[in-house]
Amino acid sequence: MDFSPLAGDSYAQITASKFLERKINSFDSNIPTVIYNIPEGGFDAVKKKALDYFGAEADVVCDGGVHKLAEAEKADTLVIKPLPYIERSRFGFGDLVEIIRRLRDPDGCPWDRAQTYESIRPCAIEEAYELVEAASLKDRDKILEESGDVVLQGLFYASIAEDEGDFTFNDMISALAHKLVTRHTHIFGSNKAENADQALGFWEKAKAKEKGQAGIADKLDSIPKTFTALMRAMKAQKIIKKTGFDFPNTKEALDKVKEEISEFENAVDNLEEEAGDLLFSAVNLLRMYGIDPEIALNNTTDKFIRRFLYVDKKAKETGIPLEECGLERMEGWYQEYKRLYEKQ
């Protein structure tokens, strides 16, 4: 069908039935989009999805006039016109890519243009931790914002790569999609997973095959050196566990922690080594209980800070400098906070 009188020379067209399919989830909002063959009684469903993707403020041509999408009445055809970025409330993935490209254009943002693979490493780490914190807080708004910031970091790396001639946005997206398909052999292949452990097993086998990891040495060598110490210990233990080299139960793992505590207490000139052994054994025990040591320690640090800020507050109320309050008084306030504000 020819919709050029309504949409212009360049446009995308899609039937209402295809538009409503789950797999149709990305649209180029920079050219007019024509949704046609909207059935009787199907307009509300089409409008609802269109509002989600194009926004209430989008201009649409229907029934011989131009309206805002939110005000559109029932029609068998909608022609959704593109708006300038500054006037939109909804964007697609392609818009995000183009915005990042625009920021790094020769006449774009000086800061964005100056970034390199190395310079934005701290940003990537910071945003990942902020997303984890948001998830820990179960804060919907923070998760929404921070997950977007993490996506931005990946796209920013792709933009730098594109400018350097290393790879393109499409290369990155294609590589990710290919990995998800080839490693989920129980979804896109012939394997069948009855539970999460089996699914993870298929993923690991596909990953090892893809990366040419012939044995345990290759897998251990693949652990990033940039991991935190707790994360690296946890990852190494998980890999080695699959060989059968592991404590048979949590009691023996706990006994190992007690043994390491004793060795640390009796250490003379090798305190650092014994401290490392103690921490490693503690990570082992937590792993066997299904506890992530990085998260557990961060939560405890947060808890300790909250409690001590109460101690600081009480000291200020007395007018005595914190350093002069004495351990006994500070411990009393510390325990007071636990009684008053924490569930027992």
pLDDT in tens, 16-45: 999 998 776 677 778 899 999 999 899 999
pLDDT in tens, 44-87: 999 999 999 899 999 998 877 888 999 988 889 999 998 999 99
| Nearest C-alpha neighbor of 163 from the set 223, 117, 232 | 117
- Which listed CATH number (2.30.30.100, 1.10.287.1080, 3.30.1340.10, 3.20.20.100) goes with 93-167? 1.10.287.1080
Mean of per-residue pLDDT scores for the chain: 91
In three-state form (DSSP H/G/I as H, E/B as E, the rest C), the secondary structure along 104-136 is CCCCCCHHHHHCCCCCCHHHHHHHHHHHHHHHH
CA dihedral 282, 285, 291, 297 (to 10 degrees): -10
Residue 132 pLDDT exceeds 90 = no
What is the structure's pLDDT at 344? 58
Tell me: pLDDT of 147 over 90. yes
Which tokens belong to 112? 């964005």
Sheet containing 65-68: which strands, arranged edge to edge? 12-15, 33-36, 78-81, 59-62, 65-68
Arithmetic mean of pLDDT, 116-129: 91
286 in Cβ contact with 237 (< 8 Å): no
Place of tokens 């970091």: 153
CA 285 vs. chain centroid, Å, equals 27
Residue 170 pLDDT level (bands cut at 50, 70, 90): very high
Residue appearing with tokens 């020769």: 106
Which amino acid does the sequence have at 231?
Answer: M
CATH fold match for the domains 93-167 and 213-288: yes
Domain at 213-288: CATH code: 1.10.287.1080
Weakest-pLDDT range from 139-143, 294-298, 301-305? 294-298
pLDDT in tens, 230-279: 999 999 999 999 899 999 999 999 999 999 999 999 998 899 999 999 99
Domain ranges (residues) in the chain: 4-87, 93-167, 213-288, 295-341
Q: Angle, nearest 10°, between helix axes 293-318 and 327-341?
A: 110
